[in-house]
Amino acid sequence: MGRFGPAFLAYDNFRVYLQWNNALVYSTTAAYLGTRIAGAPPLHRGNPPPPLAFSDVKALQAMLAHAGYDVGAIDGFLGLKTRQAVKAMQIKYNLPADSYPTAELLARMRGAH
């Protein structure tokens, strides 16, 4: 959820979750569920920007691929390669580099074409 979403402190044992399932969102959710079962309070969602529409993510992936980044499949899903490319592009445009694609990044990339 980007820099305005919730933050998690992960220790080395979090890698066990990633070995079991390498999807970051799934593993974070499983770890969070474990803390809730153990009695931790609910997380505060923060105030993240609205997520991009599926079609916008696909357009973003296509532009990133056209710019030379390996995003994996252009499928509308935010996998590790897409997030790495998003972060690189955020750095290029001097935006906060949190790997979370926003409408602002998409607008900047569309303006560059």
Which distant-in-sequence residues (6+ apart) come within 8 Å of 66 by Cβ? 113
In this prediction, residue 113 carries a pLDDT of 57
**Helix, strand, coil in percent for the chain, rounding step 5:** 55, 0, 45
Percent of the chain clearing pLDDT 90 (strictly above): 61
* Number of structural domains in the chain: 2
Q: Assess if residue 12 is contained within a domain.
A: yes
Each residue's pLDDT tens digit, 7-20: 788 888 888 888 98
Model confidence at 85, pLDDT cuts 50, 70, 90, reads very high
Q: Are 1 and 45 in contact (CB under 8 A)?
A: yes
Each residue's pLDDT tens digit, 35-76: 999 999 998 877 878 889 999 999 999 999 999 999 999 999
Q: Assess if residue 48 is contained within a domain.
A: no
Same domain assignment for residues 69 and 108: yes
Maximum Cα–Cα distance across the chain: 50
Domain of residue 16, residue span: 2-37
